[in-house]
């Protein structure tokens, strides 16, 4: 077998993922954020940004604009859809190593049932279509985890695939308030000797 063929063999491991484009890996399940949106959390979110908008801070202004309460800044939509990382009685970090990772996380690729096992993961891009603002008192979550694309590629950090996922952001009543597309890169990191040979 030629060297060129051997170097491309790793891409074949991603073919089941490429073939799964269009599949909803959550089977339509909705995963809600850890807490409902509430005024105090909105205030804490705005504070370091010094993001001064009365719709987010003044209930009277928000009501005058037609909302039931202050609105969550659109940029907070991901924050309020992330489920809890830790719950009482659980161990989230089982190592005290300097770069220890949590045992589980809702924002990595650990639960991917297809393709090669990867240990490296990072976000590459995000695209959000907003339908309406979320107001204090509502709880939101992400429904669905549709695979939109899979492009295997070797990069300077390793071999893996660029994946794009799509979810609906919904309220507890099931109303869609936004649609999110998140790009990620899941990969097997190059080992140090390989990296030093480049």
- Looking at residue 180, its pLDDT comes to 96
Reduce the DSSP state of residue 159 to 3 states and report it. strand
pLDDT at 13 over 60: yes
- Looking at residue 1, its pLDDT comes to 43
Band (pLDDT 50/70/90 cuts) for residue 186 is very high
- Looking at residue 85, its pLDDT comes to 81
Band (pLDDT 50/70/90 cuts) for residue 27 is confident
Mean pLDDT computed over every residue of the chain: 88
Band (pLDDT 50/70/90 cuts) for residue 80 is very high
- Looking at residue 24, its pLDDT comes to 94
Question: pTM for the full model?
Answer: 0.79
Q: 96-147: per-residue pLDDT in tens?
A: 887 777 777 665 555 678 889 888 888 899 999 999 999 999 999 999 999 9
pLDDT at 32 over 60: yes
Domains and CATH numbers, the chain: 3-36+79-197 (3.10.129)
| Count of other CB atoms within 10 angstroms of residue 163 | 24
Q: Residues near 162 by Cβ (< 8 Å), separated by ≥ 6?
A: 124, 149, 150, 151, 153, 183, 184, 185
Q: Which of 144, 117, 136, 130 lies closest to 177, judged by CA?
A: 130
How many angstroms separate the Cα of 12 from the Cα of each of 18, 52, 157? 10, 51, 19
Mean pLDDT throughout 141-164? 95
Band (pLDDT 50/70/90 cuts) for residue 176 is very high
Between 90 and 196, whose confidence is greater?
90
pLDDT at 194 over 60: no
Q: 35-66: per-residue pLDDT in tens?
A: 999 999 999 999 999 989 999 999 999 999 99
pLDDT at 178 over 90: yes
* Block residue for tokens 């309406």: 132
């Amino acid at each position: 077998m030629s060297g060129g063929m051997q170097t491309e063999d790793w891409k074949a491991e991603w073919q089941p993922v490429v073939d799964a484009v269009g599949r909803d890996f959550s089977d339509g399940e909705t995963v809600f954020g850890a807490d409902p949106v509430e005024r105090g959390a909105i205030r804490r979110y705005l504070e370091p940004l010094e993001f001064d908008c009365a719709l987010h801070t003044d209930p009277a202004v928000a009501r005058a604009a037609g909302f039931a309460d202050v609105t969550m800044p659109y940029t907070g939509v991901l924050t309020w859809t992330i489920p809890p990382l830790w719950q009482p009685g659980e161990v989230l970090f089982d190592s005290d190593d300097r770069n220890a990772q949590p045992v589980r996380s809702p924002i990595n690729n650990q639960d991917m049932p297809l393709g090669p096992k990867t240990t490296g993961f990072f976000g590459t891009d995000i695209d959000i279509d907003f339908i309406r603002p979320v107001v204090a008192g509502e709880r939101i979550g992400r429904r669905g985890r549709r695979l939109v694309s899979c492009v295997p590629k070797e990069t300077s950090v390793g071999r893996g695939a660029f994946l794009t996922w799509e979810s609906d952001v919904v309220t507890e009543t099931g109303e869609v308030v936004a649609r999110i597309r998140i790009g990620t890169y899941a990969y097997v990191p190059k080992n140090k000797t390989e990296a030093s040979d480049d």
